[in-house]
């Protein structure tokens, strides 16, 4: 992608984080992604976290490769490298130019702005400038993607953004503790009332017609009530394989912050 601008470490490899990773990659940053051993990513076809399960994946031409340790990072490679390091224990030894917390945990699990020259966080749970240098708004609406340098993002409501009049109906939640067994794959079309799958033998069903846009990986142990899937009522299977407008808007805020803080 041309001249490398520096090293960016992104904590989290879900679909919003991957929008950020993609845009950093496009403008020439070397990007390393940190994830947990069993990521909770739902929209796995557009999540760097999928490489944790498969060893590699490609998203809109961007190759993501799993590595075992920071020693395996190849700064000359155009690949995105991802490794299991959920607590970011290896961050300081890598001396990144920028750190982006994109875990979307809705709370700060230990990120502080002394970890790197520029530390950004996505969504609620962080306060700027106390915790990080800036927060990027992740809630759909007028402020999506804006940089917050004094304050916090809009608190999480627990209600997903509306698509064609649907909000919570779009979500699939675990009916029990256990592992997912599914009758469908991401990209398949479902109808309201269809049996989508089971968790520990307990079935769950589609509440609306649409395309199954996301499903948690079947190796992940889930707990009752956890979000495990997502149905898109727009009924366009190709949307499952491209980074969303929301993720790119958030990523645009990250790129703006890099310039505001002279990190490029």
Each residue's pLDDT tens digit, 4-51: 789 999 999 999 999 999 999 999 999 999 999 999 999 999 999 999
Is residue 75 predicted with pLDDT exceeding 60?
yes
Q: How many domains does the chain have?
A: 2
Q: Which residue, chain included where needed, has tokens 């916090």? A: 152
Length of the chain: 264
Each residue's pLDDT tens digit, 111-141: 889 999 999 999 999 999 999 999 999 999 9
Which residue, 103, 80, 74, 71, is CA-closest to 33? 80
149 and 222 assigned to the same domain? no
With respect to residue 2, please indicate whether it lies within any of the assigned structural domains.
Answer: no
Per-residue pLDDT at 168: 87
Per-residue pLDDT at 264: 79
11 and 71 assigned to the same domain? yes
Per-residue pLDDT at 3: 55
**Using CA atoms, how far apart are residues 260 and 252, in angstroms rounded to an integer?**
12
For the chain, the maximum distance between any two Cα atoms, rounded to a whole number of angstroms, is: 53
Per-residue pLDDT at 79: 95
124 and 175 assigned to the same domain? no
107 and 11 assigned to the same domain? yes
- SS3 label, residue 192: coil
User: Using N-to-C axis directions, what is the helix angle for 245-260 and 15-26, rounded to 10°?
Assistant: 50
Is residue 163 predicted with pLDDT exceeding 80?
no
129 and 202 assigned to the same domain? no
In this prediction, residue 166 has a pLDDT band, given cuts at 50, 70 and 90, of confident
Q: Where are the alpha helices (DSSP H) in 76-180?
A: 91-94
With respect to residue 162, please indicate whether it lies within any of the assigned structural domains.
Answer: no
Mean pLDDT of the chain: 93
94 and 190 assigned to the same domain? no
Query: Whole-prediction pTM value?
Result: 0.94
Each residue's pLDDT tens digit, 185-230: 999 999 999 999 999 999 999 999 999 999 999 999 999 999 999 9
Q: What percent of the chain has pLDDT over 90?
A: 82
17 and 146 assigned to the same domain? yes
**Domain CATH code at residue 193:** 2.40.50.100
42 and 107 assigned to the same domain? yes
98 and 200 assigned to the same domain? no
For residue 79, count other CB atoms closer than 10 A to its CB. Answer: 18
**Using CA atoms, how far apart are residues 206 and 155, in angstroms rounded to an integer?**
28
65 and 122 assigned to the same domain? yes
195 and 84 assigned to the same domain? no
Average pLDDT over residues 93-113: 87
Note down the domain range covering 191.
Answer: 168-233
251 and 126 assigned to the same domain? yes
Q: Which of 51-55, 129-133, 162-166, 171-175 has the lowest mean pLDDT?
A: 162-166
Strands 80-84 and 62-66: parallel
């Amino acid at each position: 992608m041309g001249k490398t601008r520096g090293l960016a470490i992104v904590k989290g490899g879900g679909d919003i984080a991957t929008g950020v990773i993609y845009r950093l990659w496009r403008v020439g940053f070397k990007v390393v992604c940190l994830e947990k051993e069993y990521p909770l990513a739902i929209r796995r076809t557009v999540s760097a976290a999928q490489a944790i399960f498969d060893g590699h994946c490609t998203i809109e031409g961007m190759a993501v490769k799993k590595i075992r340790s920071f020693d395996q990072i190849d700064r000359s490679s155009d690949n995105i490298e991802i490794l299991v390091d959920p607590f970011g224990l290896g961050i300081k030894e890598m001396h990144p130019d920028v750190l982006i917390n994109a875990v979307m945990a809705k709370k700060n699990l230990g990120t502080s702005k002394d970890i790197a020259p520029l530390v950004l966080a996505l969504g609620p749970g962080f306060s700027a400038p106390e915790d990080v240098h800036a927060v990027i708004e992740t809630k759909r609406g007028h402020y999506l993607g804006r940089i917050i340098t004094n304050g916090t993002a809009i608190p999480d409501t627990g209600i997903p953004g509306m698509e064609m009049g649907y909000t919570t109906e779009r979500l699939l939640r675990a009916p029990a503790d256990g592992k997912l067994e599914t009758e469908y794959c991401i990209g398949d079309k479902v109808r309201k009332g269809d049996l989508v799958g089971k968790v520990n033998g307990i079935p769950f069903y589609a509440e609306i017609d649409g395309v199954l846009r996301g499903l948690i990986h079947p190796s992940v142990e889930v707990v009752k009530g956890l979000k495990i899937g997502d149905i898109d009522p727009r009924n366009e299977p190709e949307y499952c394989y491209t980074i969303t407008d929301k993720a790119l808007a958030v990523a645009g805020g990250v790129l703006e912050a890099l310039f505001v803080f002279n990190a490029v």
